[in-house]
Amino acid sequence: MVNLENRELSVRLEPRGGDVATQLQIGPDGGAGGHSRVILLLHGYANTLDVARNSYSLFEQNLVQQQQPIGSANLPHIFRLYWPGDSKLMKPLYYGSYPGEIGPAKKSAAPIEEYLRNLPQPPGGAIELFLVAHSLGNRVALELLDCFTGGRRPGRLQIRGVLMMAAAVPVARVRFGGNLHYAASMAERRFTLHSRSDMTLLWGFPAGEIFGGDALALPWDWPQAVGRNGNPVSNWTFHTAMFTTQGEGYGHSNYWPGTEVSDPAAQMLGLVPAQQTPTAKPASNAIATSPGPPAVQPATRNTPTRPPLG
């Protein structure tokens, strides 16, 4: 198993590559037990443990620095989750591992679901669950929520919000009639950040889905990623195309370090007051939400030496 720090959870067996653990591992702080609010961060594919850890740090730092008045307040409810969505192959073959990571993404949901299901009841009685996912991590998130469909969710677990960034999930699976439609519709707040400038989702995703056996290359249903156009828009309570402050569309690796992400993230999590909700605009615009926990603690790790793909 991997060595974890405080506020970290893992279904990895090794820091790079490896199989999915049958049981979730918790950090030295004891994990999410006793928390009335649990926020899980889920990285995408081609992320080693160290790369994902640095990406999470950047996301948390932006959240702290840009969302006043929470500023330097503590956010103990965020838990960094790691799953083996990467390969031990050498570069550049490493970046072509997507077809082989769909299986681990689906398999990772079971130990996470078991862990959440067995969390002790907090003093308030209910546990509010929020998911913040990127790339193929969105497949982990939706497969996790799918475990809770059909009355299989403990009554004390409330699915409050999901933030889907550059979601590497086929539109066909989440639209009405798709096998993940109910999972994608479960959360009260369903935010989707997408970009037509994401070349990874434009070119790599369809091929990866086909070669991974997750989709059929049919002319009338060519694999399209949710993270490209935000479809199906009727699924989400909020969706927006992402742009940098210079007006450039987001690439696939811009989300975790992107300063423009902190606004929708904070509002989905309920860290800032509700405002009017726009759609299809840069993330610097306001988004509707409700009050949430007072908490944020910045991470201190360095930035990754290369941008993660997922």
pLDDT one digit per residue (tens) for the chain, 310 residues: 899 999 999 999 999 999 999 999 999 999 999 999 999 999 999 999 999 999 999 999 998 887 665 544 547 789 999 999 998 765 665 567 788 889 999 999 999 999 999 999 888 889 999 999 999 999 999 999 999 998 788 888 999 999 999 999 999 999 999 999 999 999 999 999 999 999 999 999 998 998 898 876 555 578 999 999 999 999 999 999 999 999 999 999 999 999 999 999 998 998 776 554 434 344 333 333 333 443 434 333 343 444 456 6
CA-to-CA distance for 145 and 149, rounded, in angstroms?
7
CA–CA distance, 191 with 31 (Å, rounded to integer): 26
Q: Can you say whether residue 46 is alpha, beta or left, with left for phi > 0 and alpha for psi between -120 and 50 degrees? A: left
Chain centroid to Cα 176, Å, comes to 22
User: Which residue type occupies 27?
Assistant: G
- Region 8-269: CATH code: 3.40.50.1820
For residue 299 the two structure tokens come to 């991470």
For 236, residues 6+ apart whose C-beta sits below 8 A from its C-beta are 190, 191, 192, 230
3-class state of residue 266 by DSSP: helix
Asked whether the bond before 104 is cis by omega within 30 degrees of 0, the reply is no
DSSP 301: P
Say which residue the tokens 């899980």 belong to: 40
